[in-house]
Amino acid sequence: MDVLLETAQAETEAPALPRIGDPAPPFEAKTTQGMLKLSDLAGKWVVLFSHPADFTPVCTTEFVAFARRAEEFARRNVQLVGLSIDSVYSHLAWLRNIEERFGVKVPFPIIADLDMTVARRYGMIHPKEGTTSTVRALFIIDDRQVVRAILYYPMSTGRNIDEVLRIIDSLQTVDREKVATPADWHPGEPVILPPPQTQADLQARLERVEQAGYECKDWYLCLRKA
């Protein structure tokens, strides 16, 4: 089939996928900790992440890494939720194996998405990678249940937990202080002031630079202490 036609057909058939700023698609799902409704987590931030399969090497290292840092997520009011297209029995056996082999208890729920309802709703299945398994998708959902960040990693690359925490720190700082954060930012480092939107704002900023202690590279790029 013509590539353009195939792409157009795929686009018309593909479900609408959540994008940044969209309400997080609701779900009610079976997990290793009982039934879980996304709406029950309102008021908390949620990191919903899928993995391709239980008992696979890269996924195992990710679960050990997430579990070891679960406290750091909890301190940020974040609920971790895993997901794969495996049964709850498989998840339970795998978690037991992780505890035996690594001495780590996984304290967060894992969705057993056997009918792929949640995976499809969140666009976690990328057919060219596999039609019955999820890729490494990760959604950061805020305390008002809005999608704030989306990450996709290939099957062969384990995720970077530091980066997930860093994005959450950035988003929570942005919400609290109405600023933005620069490349490679970490908490405690200078933050970016929103660029002025009018000539009057621009002029006011230039007049305030010294007194306010801003560090301005130019009128549109000003940093202040955290």
DSSP class per residue in 13-29: HSPPPP-TTSBPPP-EE
Question: Does 53 engage in binding with ligand BEZ (CB under 6 A)?
Answer: yes
Question: Does 52 engage in binding with ligand BEZ (CB under 6 A)?
Answer: yes
Whether 216 sits among the annotated catalytic residues: the reply is no
In angstroms, the CA 180 to CA 118 distance is 31
Question: Does 59 engage in binding with ligand BEZ (CB under 6 A)?
Answer: yes
Min dist. Cβ of residue 59 to ligand BEZ (A)? 4
Annotated binding-site positions: 136
Nearer to ligand BEZ, 42 or 64 (CB): 64
Question: Does 57 engage in binding with ligand BEZ (CB under 6 A)?
Answer: yes
Annotated binding-site positions for substrate: 136
| CA-wise closest residue to 136 among 172, 161, 114 | 161
Nearer to ligand BEZ, 55 or 220 (CB): 55
From candidates 17, 44, 56, 151, binder to ligand BEZ by CB under 6 A = 56
Residues 154-193 that bind ligand BEZ (CB under 6 A): 155-156
3-state secondary structure of 96: helix
Backbone phi, then psi, for 152, in 5-degree steps? Answer: -125, 130
3-state secondary structure of 86: coil
Residues 6+ apart with CB under 8 A from 143: 42, 43, 44, 45, 77
Active site members: 59
